[in-house]
Structures are given as structure tokens and as C-alpha cells.
């Protein structure tokens, strides 16, 4: 009799426990979906706000830049008045040439995932011509171009960029100068591959410089017919 009673209880209780467990699992899954959806909505909302307000890259001091392994916080969208007039002389850009200053020039590049990647950059004005310049140093020297920096890869894949100079936006096309002799000329005759001597008297490569010529792409008379191979 006792055994039959125990068996009867098991027949009733076990399904109840399983049912309660299933209900809990359903509740947990529903809660997970709500949390995930909330996180997505918050992220989308944050990106929308940043799209409207912009998020410039960081402008660390030279000391902080070195401490961080020669890197700075990247930004997203750049905001400012878009210039639609042709610039015939870029020499005035020199006043915004300090990458560590708050008014330093900034570059916005296009990523494969659709959210811009912006950084501070060095500009080299040459009268009616304007160039971007950047170098690989330390650990980046061990990586094949353009893998040394994220924005290099972005420009190689999509040369359409936006420059922020003096608070204004210039929509540009960046074309890599592949002729190393031309890069040397732009550097005043200095070799783009910089060598140094270590404490043991051994020579090593300390820097490798790259230049891009940039053209205003929303100006009809600028950059017409320019292709990525124009400066090979």
C-alpha cells in the first residue's frame, strides 16, 4: 500500500516539477530576449545620437601618446560645416599641423561595417596640393602595409574620406603615393625608410613613412578621373 502511494505521488509530482522547470526556462528565455532587445535598442539609440552630435578622436598629449604605445582613442563621425568651394592653395593648413593640439586635423574613414573610424592625422600642404602623411613605428613595422593601422586598411578599401581642418569638413579622395622616390621628394629628399643605430651599434629600421595625396571629391574640377593607381 505504501509503495503504491509513493508511486502515485511520483507520477503526479515529477511531471509537475518538469512543468515548473519548463516554465522557468521559458521565463528565462523571455527575459534574455527582453534584455538583448533592450541592449540593441540602447546601442542603436546611442549610435543615432553620436551620428547627430559626432564623436571626434582623442587628442592626447605627446607624453600620453607615447605611454599608450603610440596610439590614441579613435573617434566615429566628424561634425562641421562642409566646404563646397575649391581650395586652390592649402598652405594655410600648416597652422593645424600639431596632431597633439585640440585643433589638430582629423580624418574620417569608411569601415566595412558601416560605422566611421576617425583619427588625428598629419597633413603636408604643398601649395595647390595636399597630402596626408603617416608612419609605421615599433610593432607596426612588423606588419605588411596596409595592416599597420586600421585607417590605412580603410583607405585602401575605400579611398573616400572626410578631413576636418579648422573646424570645417572637406570631403576628399585619398590616393596613395606608391612611388617611393616621390615620397622622398615630399620629405625634402629624406628616405621614407628611416634607420637608426641601437646601443650595440647595429642598424635597424625605426620608421617607414607613407603619403597620400587628397583631392576634394565634391568639387567638379578636382579629382576628375583620379584612380587609385594614378600615383603608382
pLDDT in tens, 89-141: 999 999 998 878 888 899 999 999 999 999 999 999 999 999 999 999 888 88
Q: In this predicted structure, what is the pLDDT of residue 215?
A: 95
Cell matching residue 4: 503504491
Q: In this predicted structure, what is the pLDDT of residue 139?
A: 87
Is it the case that residue 54 has pLDDT exceeding 60?
A: no
Lowest mean pLDDT among 52-66, 67-81, 112-126, 174-188: 52-66
| Domain contains 211 | yes
Q: In this predicted structure, what is the pLDDT of residue 71?
A: 72
pLDDT band at 52 (very low <50, low <70, confident <90, very high): very low
Same domain, yes or no: 118 and 169: yes
| Segment 5-10 mean pLDDT | 50
Q: What does the mean pLDDT of the chain come to?
A: 81
Q: In this predicted structure, what is the pLDDT of residue 82?
A: 94
Pairing of strands 81-82, 168-176: parallel
pLDDT band at 227 (very low <50, low <70, confident <90, very high): very low
Ranges 29-33, 135-139, 170-174, most confident: 170-174
Same domain, yes or no: 99 and 42: no
Q: Which residues contact 32 (CB under 8 A, 6 or more apart)?
A: none
Same domain, yes or no: 44 and 85: no
Is it the case that residue 231 has pLDDT exceeding 60?
A: no
Q: In this predicted structure, what is the pLDDT of residue 103?
A: 85
Is it the case that residue 201 has pLDDT exceeding 80?
A: yes
- Percent with pLDDT over 70 in the chain: 70
Same domain, yes or no: 196 and 84: yes
Same domain, yes or no: 35 and 69: no
* Cβ-contact 90, 125 below 8 angstroms: yes
Using CB atoms within 10 A of its CB, is residue 77 exposed (0-12), middle (13-18) or buried (19+)? middle
Cα 175 from chain centroid?
Answer: 17
Integer Cα distance of 106 and 57 in angstroms: 8
* Cβ-contact 108, 164 below 8 angstroms: yes
| Segment 199-221 mean pLDDT | 88
Same domain, yes or no: 49 and 12: yes
Phi-psi region at 133: left, alpha or beta (left = phi > 0; alpha = psi -120 to 50):
beta
Integer Cα distance of 214 and 224 in angstroms: 12
128 or 232, which is more confident: 128
pLDDT band at 49 (very low <50, low <70, confident <90, very high): very low
| Segment 22-36 mean pLDDT | 62
| Domain contains 21 | yes
Q: Domain of residue 46: give its range.
A: 1-53
User: What's the number of domains the chain is made of?
Assistant: 2
35, 58, 92, 155, 160 from 218: Cα distances, Å: 43, 27, 20, 17, 11
Same domain, yes or no: 35 and 86: no
| Domain contains 170 | yes
Is it the case that residue 185 has pLDDT exceeding 50?
A: yes
Is it the case that residue 8 has pLDDT exceeding 60?
A: no
Q: In this predicted structure, what is the pLDDT of residue 48?
A: 47
Using CB atoms within 10 A of its CB, is residue 105 exposed (0-12), middle (13-18) or buried (19+)? buried
| Segment 54-64 mean pLDDT | 78
Amino acid at each position: 500500500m505504501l509503495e503504491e502511494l509513493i508511486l502515485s505521488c511520483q507520477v503526479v509530482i515529477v511531471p509537475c516539477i518538469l512543468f515548473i522547470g519548463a516554465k522557468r526556462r521559458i521565463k528565462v528565455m523571455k527575459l534574455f530576449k527582453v534584455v538583448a532587445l533592450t541592449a540593441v535598442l540602447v546601442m542603436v539609440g546611442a549610435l543615432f545620437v553620436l551620428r547627430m552630435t559626432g564623436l571626434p578622436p582623442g587628442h592626447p598629449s605627446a607624453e600620453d601618446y607615447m605611454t599608450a604605445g603610440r596610439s590614441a582613442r579613435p573617434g566615429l563621425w566628424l561634425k562641421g560645416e562642409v566646404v563646397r568651394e575649391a581650395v586652390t592653395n592649402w598652405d594655410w593648413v600648416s597652422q593645424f599641423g600639431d596632431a597633439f593640439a585640440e585643433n589638430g586635423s582629423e580624418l574620417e574613414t569608411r569601415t566595412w561595417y558601416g560605422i566611421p573610424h576617425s583619427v588625428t592625422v598629419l597633413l603636408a600642404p604643398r601649395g595647390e596640393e595636399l597630402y596626408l602623411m603617416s608612419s609605421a613605428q615599433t610593432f607596426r613595422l612588423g606588419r605588411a602595409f596596409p595592416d599597420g593601422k586600421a585607417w590605412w586598411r580603410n583607405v585602401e578599401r575605400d579611398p573616400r574620406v572626410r578631413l576636418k581642418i579648422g573646424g570645417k569638413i572637406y570631403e576628399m579622395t585619398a590616393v596613395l603615393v606608391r612611388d617611393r622616390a616621390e615620397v622622398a621628394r615630399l620629405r625634402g629628399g629624406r628616405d621614407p625608410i628611416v634607420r637608426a643605430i641601437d646601443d650595440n651599434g647595429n642598424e635597424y629600421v625605426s620608421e617607414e613613412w607613407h603619403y597620400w595625396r587628397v583631392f576634394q571629391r565634391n568639387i567638379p574640377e578636382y579629382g576628375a578621373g583620379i584612380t587609385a593607381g594614378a600615383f603608382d
